[in-house]
A and B are shown apart, each in its own frame.
Chain A
Amino acid sequence: MTRTICVFLFALMPVIAVADLEIFACEPEWAALAKEIGGSHVNTFSATTALQDPHYIQARPSLIAKVRRANLLICSGAQLEIGWLPALLQKANNRKVLPGSNGYMEASAYVVRVDATGNVDRAQGDIHPEGNPHIQTDPHNIAAVAKPLAERLMSLDPENAAAYAAGLEDFLGRWHDAIETWEAQARILRGARGITHHKSWVYLERWLGIEEAANLEAIPGLPPTATHLSRLTKQFEQGGADFIIRSPYQDARPSEWLSERTGIPAIVLPLTVGGTERAQDLFSLYDDIVDRLLTASKHE
């Protein structure tokens, strides 16, 4: 009997020894980044998929159950998740991941946010006073978040600190090489003009030197209206833009409609990991974004 118990305990040992960190990411890019750095020491879960508008999801029971067991919560922040994350935190009874604790991390706190404005009015639409939260469309931002994320992992799981440090170094090495490649490939995009569905791409545009010609949404966050679209048709009838960009979760009709009438190609860009078949991790995400932009700009 004693022997059986001993065998049983030994069988359990590895399970006890591996103190995996449970990471709850609000968006897939942060889950992917945590996996790049943490490797087998972390279990990652993403609350949203690339096919969902991260502004608007339901505070589902399954997500509350995940937050309940998380050691670290990483979200874009800057009010992107204001419509659902507070409801998850309120119900999840997990003090380790409440704002202010070590287990709560807002990625946008570690980058330079654009369009931050102190003076907001809801008549301007669904704008984010703390700046545009779609920071993941610039790979330099991913690099800027990687280091503090690794630091969090180290402080939450000091036993594996060396592994996280190595993971960070390895990732940043490969990442900076990849950035150089993307920047070289995308050099010809500099000065191109893009129409975007929502202001989801301002960081990408700043990174690659693309000019934002217009948005399909007349007011941020509100669906594109017929009047605004016909105004855009007039404005871009003679050209004046190189592509119309939308994310996979956005309604295809407005951009296709405008594309038909102006001849400007409408393209889908993966806003995050999983947005297209090819974008399966952070590297292939940017490979795909850059390729899709290059293809669209050659189309002319």
Chain B
Amino acid sequence: MRGLLALIVVTLFFAGFGSAEAQESEIEALRAAVEQLRADYDARIAELERRLAVAEQSAMQAKRTTQSTKGLQAGTPAGNTGSSAFNPAIGVIFQGQAWNFSRNPDDYAIPGFPFGGEAGPVDEGLGIGETELILNANVDDKFTAWLTVALALEDGESVVEIEEAWVEATALPAGLGMKFGRFFSGIGYLNSKHSHTWDFVDQPLPYQAFLGDQFLDNGLQFRWLAPTDLYMEFGGEVFQGSRYPAGGNADSGFGSYSLFAKFGGDVGANSSWLAGISYLDATAIDRPSGDEDDPLVFNGDSQLTGAQFVWKWSPNGNWKQKNFVFQSEFFWRSEDGNYTLPGGTPLLYDVDQTGWYAQAVYQPVPRWRFGGRVDGLSTDSPGPLFDDSVLSRPGSNPMRYSMMADWSNSEFSRLRLQFTRDEAGPLDDTQWGIQYIHSIGAHGAHAF
């Protein structure tokens, strides 16, 4: 009995063991089969995917080829339908700042250089600058159009201003270009740059003193680009003459003209440069400047000659990783006419002035940039008649020193910290603040 039991146990034991062994090998076999299946399927699916891709490709190719013969370019298929299909590109740029002054900015003035146009210090405290609404699109195959509406708050009132409204002819032959409407003049380097692309919160002193921050007006521009490897652009403009440094729509509304030439090229794979000269001849009739409520009035001729140089560097031209920009401009201004001081009579005024700035901005790593700028002005004495007036020559040449650091999360957002030591006014001033520049919607490519 005992022996039998032992036998059964042993048998069961071995049977159990055996079946476990059998199971194991069965599992192995199953696993191998599954592996085999998987491998087969992988190969077959891969093959099918490949064939599908090839089929898609040739179908697409056939489609594109038909389109290409019609000279069409395919974008995303469909999506835009009906009247919205031709909507222009729309973008909005938000700018604002928190700015501090060690002196009252309401009294800000530089002796000898009464500001006109939109020049002047940044708003004190928390403020928003101009909010820009930009619309642009091709009109047809021969014209393209651009609109910038600046929305601003002035003394608590909402102000809507047409900053730019121009049409450009795109189909002219032989390297010619033509623009008409309201636009930023092509003189200088910074003049045609939108404020959201500036490297500092404000324009350098010569732009503030000589161009009312930025010279824009209603007019007509011609450009010609030479067919050479060296970039050579020549341009000329005629303006209505309504804006500082012109004024009063002189010469029946053809009161100002400009000429400019720009040259540029590369030096190796890392560096590129742009240099230019420009000339603006503006006629002023009753042009106000200085204190807004009690302005000076100028009648006469204002001629401004400028020279610019810009150097951009980045290793292998790979801009995103690291880059450095140096830029500098010089301006010579000659104003000949008469100034009327508040409550006075016109006094002969014939003065030559100069203004300049030099700045460098370095981006050592993506997102972060650091920059410094020096800007200054100098002027002849307008003579004893102007002693003790805002037009008298300052004791020393006005100068400013600025430093900035900015951080851009993407190319659509930027936060900036800036310090400025302002030795332009009669008393030195320390200004600093934080600025933001954000844009939504379509955003045009930036010029060099």
Contact = CB atoms under 8 A, between A and B. Distances in A.
Interface string B396-427: 00000000000001111000000000000000
Interface string A52-85: 1101111111101110110000000100001111
B448 A93 contact: no
A294 interface: no
Contact of B173 (A95, A99, A109, A129): A95
Contact of A116 (B76, B225, B231, B444): B76
Contacts of A226: none
Nearest to A251: B321
A283 interface: no
Contacts of A87: 444-448
Given A53-B318, A112-B56, A122-B410, A60 B448 contact: yes
Interface string B18-57: 0000000000000000000000001000100100011011
Given A49-B269, A122-B410, A147-B61, A130 B445 contact: no
Given A53-B319, A83-B445, A251-B321, A61 B262 contact: yes
Nearest to A118: B79
A49 B69 CA distance: 30
Nearest to A85: B445
B317 interface: yes
A157 interface: no
A231 interface: no
A222 B413 CA distance: 12
A91 interface: yes
Contact of B46 (A62, A109, A190): A190
B367 interface: yes
B231 A98 contact: no
Contacts of B342: none
A140 interface: yes
Contacts of B193: none
A171 interface: no
Interface residues of A, number: 68
A95 B232 CA distance: 18
Contacts of A126: 410-411
The residue in B53, B318, B321 that gathers the most chain A C-beta atoms within 10 A of its C-beta is B318
Contacts of A102: 71
B228 interface: yes
A213 B233 CA distance: 49
Contacts of B8: none
Main secondary structure of the interface of A (DSSP, over half): loop
B65 A94 contact: no
Contacts of A223: 366-367
Contacts of A31: none
Nearest to A109: B74
Interface string B206-228: 00000000000000000111111
A86 B170 CA distance: 13
Interface of A: 48-49, 51-53, 55-62, 64-66, 68-69, 77, 82-87, 90-95, 98-102, 104-106, 109-112, 116, 118, 122, 125-126, 129-131, 140-141, 144, 147-148, 151-152, 190-191, 206-207, 209, 221-223, 249, 251
12 contacts: A49-B317, A58-B312, A58-B317, A60-B266, A61-B231, A82-B445, A90-B168, A91-B177, A93-B172, A118-B76, A125-B410, A130-B76
Interface of B: 42, 46, 49, 53-54, 56-57, 60-61, 64-65, 67-69, 71, 73-76, 79, 141, 168, 170-173, 175-177, 223-233, 262-266, 269, 272-274, 312, 314, 316-321, 366-367, 409-412, 440, 444-448
Given A112-B57, A112-B60, 15 more contacts: A51-B317, A52-B318, A53-B319, A60-B272, A61-B272, A62-B229, A62-B231, A83-B445, A87-B444, A122-B412, A144-B64, A147-B65, A206-B53, A249-B321, A251-B366
